Chain A
Amino acid sequence: MDKVQEKTAEPNAPLLEVRNVSKSYGGVKALIDCDFSCGAGEVHALLGENGAGKSTLVKILCGVVKPDSGTIRYMGEETTIDSPIDASRKGIVAVFQELSLVPELSVAENVFLGHEPKTRWGLIEFKKMKIWTDHLFQDLGLTISPESRVADLSLADQQLVEIAKALSREPQIIIFDEATSALGSQEVELLFTLIKRITKKGTTAIFISHRMDELDRIADRATVFRDARYVADFDWGTVGKDQIVHWIAGREVEETFPQKKPHSNETALEIRNLTSSGNFYDINLVIKKGEIFGIAGLQGHGQSQFLRSLFGACPITEGHVIVNNKSIILKGPKSAIQAGISLVPEDRKHEGLLLTRSVKENLALMTLDKRQKMGFIDGTSELNELHHAVESLKIKTSNLEQEAGSLSGGNQQKVVIGKAILAEGDILLLADPTRGIDVGTKSEIYQYMSNLAAQGITIIFYSTELPELVGVCHRVAVFKQGRVTATFSGEEITEHHIINAALGVA
């Protein structure tokens, strides 16, 4: 953190200066009179809860949306950013949480998409492209093959390719919007080294993250937004955590977890020799009623597939799943739901939510067949049940007809959770449910999980964030190369133990 002082040796004018910018979508004000500025070569953190206006500011800077009012000064001149192409010409690029890669193309083709090296006849020089990508990756310390198909890469690797793609344009400003949320700790390390390298060369990094520990290691300055307004900006390290959290939330938020309640000794779920070849092998677990069972490990060691298999969405090649002493056959999600198992999938936007449909339709989707008579939907009982879910999850929506995609990230996730809860199963599978979600909403989700467990619902909780596994789980199993290499319970559950097991250090 001592590096902060030397680095913020500011040039006279900031590189980018945004003044009095406002933007509203329909009736919703996403930004009100916001100010923001950053200098060359700094790592600037944007802080705020979901829906505070960070993403909107980023979209304005990338030319995705246009501000309703306000001015932007860039490199000392007043300017407008008319489109993403315009932004990238000006040297502003962004890496979003949602990947913008073309799955069917190779890594190299993706990296150079839109600025491919061409012969004078206008044909793409694939050889040159591959070599350039090789060089770029070597520079960045990436070990991904430029020729592999993006669809075949893990989510974390895809995210790294996305970052490489942004860097291949040699930007002046690079924006990371929740770019670390899909990354495991190794990849995050890699990314940070990368960021340090490019900022040394004078590139500015704007960094959105909800993980404070990350920011501690990398941020030089920060700007806080709350409720669509600018709240404060400061040099990182000069302001205490409490103050930052206070600015973000506008109220005191305990970052504590709800107390772990004892669970019953009855077996709810027994997994015997479960194998899905290529994904995970020989998993044996006995999970109790009302238990919150954590799944940990480095990204891509079979955890997601394990959860999907329990939901019938990933083929099981061997082994048994026994629910309430009955062996069940998982032919697909439908049979899993019937057996009382529901899943909150990892990828909220592509697997969890129908973004263009209403909150109502989304919430009801998993349980349509329960509220029907001769195929007709019982509208009244549906509304009642959904209202109940909206209330208990505290989903902020103007009405149930609102488009799900127009909700903030945290509320979108609550809708996905609500959908699974409405299935009223005994077993709930949560795949990284707090990814990219603000502190306040996270606490709410933990509290909600704790309440469900107290009601006797068994939760299997896969997460990429260690503190929350430590904070809420009764037991944690660590996956390594598709196998459970360690299980911890009670006091043994510490970040240290989990990391050691995940890395395979004794």
Chain B
Amino acid sequence: MNTEMVKKNPLHSKITVSVFHKYGVLKIYVTMVSIYIISGIIQPQYFAVDHVMQLLVIASFLGIAAIGQTLVVLSGGLDLSIAYTLNLGAVIMTQVSIEHGGVAAFAAVLAAGIFIGAFNGIGISYLNISPIIMTLAMSSILKSITYVYSNGNPKGASPDWLRFLGTGSILGIKTAVIIWIILSAAVVVLLVKTTFGRKLYSVGTNTSVSYLSGIQNKRLIIMVYILSSLFSVVAGMMLVGFYGLSHLGMGDSLLLPTIAAVVIGGTSILGGKGGYAGTAAGAIIIYLLMSILTVLDINDAGKQIIYGLVILFVLFLYGRGKAVRL
């Protein structure tokens, strides 16, 4: 039977197809396009290129923050500190750039991101604190730090280059969208093509198997949380670029949507299964839905209810996972 296997060797051609089938990514894109078409039928303006671009820009901030959440969830954890990490990143960006210029501010923001992520990661891996508790505590700490650091009233503005990244466009495509695409591509490559990606799935699936295969789980977990914080602060900087300034509650409304985008995107909340392609579609679906509900003049309560139902509907689409042969 082994010769047979080599002869068939259907691996190369099958990979792309299987990725789509396996994680239901295709389903989520079909859902996204369907919602888009329905939106367009309700309000033809949705078919305009400008409108699409605007939607993508808005979705990009969530999309970038949700990259980190995707990695964390794949590893079997959850990052609840994303919103306040993002806020602190945004505030540092504008305040530091007043005296030291944009580049120094940029470096300071990344350093803060690495520091926050490492702190989360060490607490979770070495001190065995549950990810939810650790990152919730971190949220609270960051909220206060941001408040004290800015005296409750963040100063400064976005440097011009950042303003361009947030609002400009290249060849008719918004730079924010381009950055989102680049980061998305990078993270997909990270997950699929690198040893880091393989190890991440392994740790998220079963930590014992992973450990007994020589993977250093703890280091990996720390890396994952560092990446998550880095993507959060990058999303924060992009928002600074978009609005031109920072304020204390910039990312407050993004925390739960990052989790929703991950789940809608087909990544298992238990870890080890899924990927970023779905999350990106999830982020778009969330804003598409919100925007069309606004057009339909549905009040906030109604929006939240429908939003919840859509999440449940999508999970239903994925099925409850196939049975593993025991």
By a beta-carbon cutoff of 8 Å, the part of chain A in contact with chain B is: 25, 55, 59, 65, 96, 98, 311, 313, 332-334, 336-337, 343, 345, 349-357, 361, 364-366, 368-369, 372, 375-377, 379, 383, 387, 390-391, 394, 396-401, 403, 405-408, 419, 423
Are A333's CB and B198's CB within 8 A?
no
Q: Which residues of A contact B209 (CB under 8 A)?
A: 350-354, 365
Are B214's CB and A387's CB within 8 A?
no
Please provide the chain B residues from 205 to 223 with a CB less than 8 Å away from any CB of chain A in the complex.
Answer: 205-206, 208-216
Q: Which residue of B lies closest to A350 (CB)?
A: B208
Please provide the chain B residues from 159 to 215 with a CB less than 8 Å away from any CB of chain A in the complex.
Answer: 193-196, 198-199, 201-202, 205-206, 208-215
A351 to B213, CA, bound (A): 9
Q: Which residues of B contact A379 (CB under 8 A)?
A: 193
Are A375's CB and B202's CB within 8 A?
no
Are A25's CB and B323's CB within 8 A?
yes
Q: Which of B11-19, B30-38, B282-290, B291-299 is the contact stretch?
A: B11-19
Are A313's CB and B212's CB within 8 A?
yes
Are A376's CB and B194's CB within 8 A?
yes
Known A-B contacts A65-B323, A401-B11, A403-B324; the reply to A366 vs B213 at CB < 8 A is yes
Are B325's CB and A357's CB within 8 A?
no
Contact of B15 among A333, A354, A401 (CB under 8 A): A401
Are A390's CB and B324's CB within 8 A?
no
Known A-B contacts A350-B209, A387-B6, A401-B14; the reply to A377 vs B194 at CB < 8 A is yes
Are B326's CB and A55's CB within 8 A?
yes
Q: Which residues of B contact A390 (CB under 8 A)?
A: 2, 5
Q: Which residue of B lies closest to A374 (CB)?
A: B194
A379 to B189, CA, bound (A): 13
By a beta-carbon cutoff of 8 Å, the part of chain B in contact with chain A is: 1-2, 5-6, 8-11, 14-15, 18, 193-196, 198-199, 201-202, 205-206, 208-216, 272-273, 323-326
Are B11's CB and A383's CB within 8 A?
yes
Q: Which residues of B contact A387 (CB under 8 A)?
A: 5-6, 9
Q: Which residue of B lies closest to A59 (CB)?
A: B326
Are A396's CB and B1's CB within 8 A?
yes
Q: Which residues of A contact B323 (CB under 8 A)?
A: 25, 65
Contact of A343 among B2, B14, B212, B324 (CB under 8 A): B212
Report 5 cross-chain contacts, Cβ distance below 8 Å, ordered by A residue. A55-B326, A313-B211, A368-B215, A377-B198, A401-B11
Cβ distance B227 to chain A, nearest Cβ, rounded Å:
13
A332 to B217, CA, bound (A): 11
Give 8 nearest A-B pairs by CB, closest first: A405-B324, A368-B195, A365-B213, A391-B2, A334-B214, A337-B214, A354-B205, A333-B214
Q: Which residue of A lies closest to B190 (CB)?
A: A375
Q: Which residues of A contact B199 (CB under 8 A)?
A: 368
Cβ distance B10 to chain A, nearest Cβ, rounded Å:
6
A231 to B103, CA, bound (A): 76
A390 to B2, CA, bound (A): 7
Decide if the interface of chain B is mainly helix, strand, loop or mixed.
helix
Decide if the interface of chain A is mainly helix, strand, loop or mixed.
mixed
Q: Which residues of B contact A401 (CB under 8 A)?
A: 11, 14-15, 18
Cβ distance A395 to chain B, nearest Cβ, rounded Å:
8
Are A405's CB and B325's CB within 8 A?
yes
Are A350's CB and B206's CB within 8 A?
yes
Contact of B216 among A311, A332, A351, A377 (CB under 8 A): A332
Are B202's CB and A354's CB within 8 A?
yes
Known A-B contacts A55-B326, A399-B11, A401-B15; the reply to A356 vs B196 at CB < 8 A is no
Q: Which of B5, B6, B201, B215 has the most CB of A within 10 A?
A: B5
Known A-B contacts A65-B323, A356-B273, A376-B193; the reply to A351 vs B208 at CB < 8 A is yes
Cβ distance A205 to chain B, nearest Cβ, rounded Å:
20
Q: Which residues of A contact B6 (CB under 8 A)?
A: 387, 391
Are B18's CB and A375's CB within 8 A?
no
Q: Which of A311, A345, A368 has the most CB of B within 10 A?
A: A368
Q: Which residue of B lies closest to A58 (CB)?
A: B326
A25-B323, A345-B212 known; 20 other A-B pairs, CB under 8 Å? Answer: A332-B214, A334-B216, A336-B214, A350-B206, A354-B272, A355-B206, A355-B324, A357-B202, A357-B272, A368-B199, A372-B195, A387-B6, A399-B8, A401-B14, A401-B15, A405-B326, A407-B325, A408-B325, A419-B213, A423-B214
A379 to B192, CA, bound (A): 11
Q: Which residues of A contact B10 (CB under 8 A)?
A: 399
Q: Which residue of A lies closest to B217 (CB)?
A: A332
Known A-B contacts A350-B209, A351-B208, A399-B11; the reply to A377 vs B195 at CB < 8 A is yes
Q: Which residue of B lies closest to A412 (CB)?
A: B325
Q: Which residues of A contact B206 (CB under 8 A)?
A: 350, 354-355
Q: Which residue of B lies closest to A177 (CB)?
A: B326
Cβ distance B52 to chain A, nearest Cβ, rounded Å:
34
Known A-B contacts A400-B11, A401-B18; the reply to A333 vs B213 at CB < 8 A is yes
Q: Which of B8, B15, B206, B325 has the most CB of A within 10 A?
A: B325
Q: Which residues of A contact B213 (CB under 8 A)?
A: 333, 365-366, 419
Q: Which residues of A contact B215 (CB under 8 A)?
A: 334, 365, 368
Are A399's CB and B14's CB within 8 A?
yes
A201 to B10, CA, bound (A): 55
Q: Which residues of B contact A25 (CB under 8 A)?
A: 323, 325
Q: Which residue of B lies closest to A312 (CB)?
A: B214
Q: Which residues of B contact A383 (CB under 8 A)?
A: 11
Cβ distance A393 to chain B, nearest Cβ, rounded Å:
9
Q: Which residues of B contact A405 (CB under 8 A)?
A: 324-326
Are B202's CB and A333's CB within 8 A?
no
Q: Which of A59, A65, A394, A399 has the most CB of B within 10 A?
A: A399
A313 to B210, CA, bound (A): 12
Q: Which residue of B lies closest to A353 (CB)?
A: B209
Q: Which residues of B contact A398 (CB under 8 A)?
A: 5
Cβ distance B317 to chain A, nearest Cβ, rounded Å:
19
Cβ distance B123 to chain A, nearest Cβ, rounded Å:
21
Q: Which residues of B contact A336 (CB under 8 A)?
A: 214
Q: Which residue of A lies closest to B17 (CB)?
A: A401
A65 to B202, CA, bound (A): 28
Are A356's CB and B326's CB within 8 A?
no
A338 to B307, CA, bound (A): 51
Q: Which residue of B lies closest to A357 (CB)?
A: B205
Are A394's CB and B198's CB within 8 A?
no
A126 to B211, CA, bound (A): 38
A349 to B6, CA, bound (A): 27
Are A406's CB and B324's CB within 8 A?
yes
Q: Which residue of B lies closest to A361 (CB)?
A: B198
Q: Which residue of A lies closest to B189 (CB)?
A: A376
Cβ distance B312 to chain A, nearest Cβ, rounded Å:
23
Q: Which residues of A contact B14 (CB under 8 A)?
A: 399, 401
A408 to B1, CA, bound (A): 15
Are A98's CB and B198's CB within 8 A?
no
A271 to B199, CA, bound (A): 32
Are B211's CB and A394's CB within 8 A?
no
Cβ distance A40 to chain B, nearest Cβ, rounded Å:
28
Q: Which residues of B contact A361 (CB under 8 A)?
A: 198, 201-202
Q: Which residues of A contact B326 (CB under 8 A)?
A: 55, 59, 96, 98, 349, 405
Q: Which residues of A contact B194 (CB under 8 A)?
A: 372, 375-377
Q: Which residues of B contact A349 (CB under 8 A)?
A: 326
Q: Which of B8, B195, B196, B208 has the most CB of A within 10 A?
A: B195
Q: Which residue of A lies closest to B326 (CB)?
A: A98
Are A365's CB and B324's CB within 8 A?
no
Q: Which residues of B contact A375 (CB under 8 A)?
A: 194-196
